Amino acid sequence: MSNLLLRSSAVVALTAAADYSDGRGKSVTISGDTATLSASATVVAPGIILEGDVSGGVVQVGILGAIGGTVPAKLSGSVTKGARMQQHTDGTWRTDSGSGGRVVSLVALETGVSGDIIEAAPLTPVSLS
């Protein structure tokens, strides 16, 4: 039997693949112990940066669909409170377009515009088309 570390929250410390000191609220993919900004609007990004760091540093990543509470979301478009949000190709979030290939993972708890970091409720990521 392995020596399991049980966490009270689904937050993991990972190595930043690049400079994510400004990455708070952006989606990431996870490979081993490394977090990389999501570069796809259609491939599920399982994590979101809670606390960024420089390249090679340690970033705190919340696991979408498993983390309790709320998370920050960096916007790349206007979002209205209550809207479902989809991941964008640069790790940011925007209002669910309602059509086409996309991954929806958050609900906006505040209204915001491009560049804002708002509070959001995480969902289990869902691929839609």
Q: Residue 46's closest CA among 59, 60, 31, 28?
A: 28
Which residues have a Cβ under 8 Å from the Cβ of 129 and sit 6 or more positions away? 100, 101, 102
| Confidence (pLDDT) at 2 | 59
**Burial (0-12, 13-18, 19+ Cβ within 10 Å), 17:** middle
Please tell me the distance from the alpha carbon of residue 112 to that of residue 38, in angstroms, as a whole number. Answer: 21
Domain boundaries, the chain: 11-63, 71-128
User: What is the value of pTM for the model shown?
Assistant: 0.93
Write out pLDDT tens, residues 63-102.
Answer: 999 998 999 999 999 999 999 999 999 999 999 999 999 9
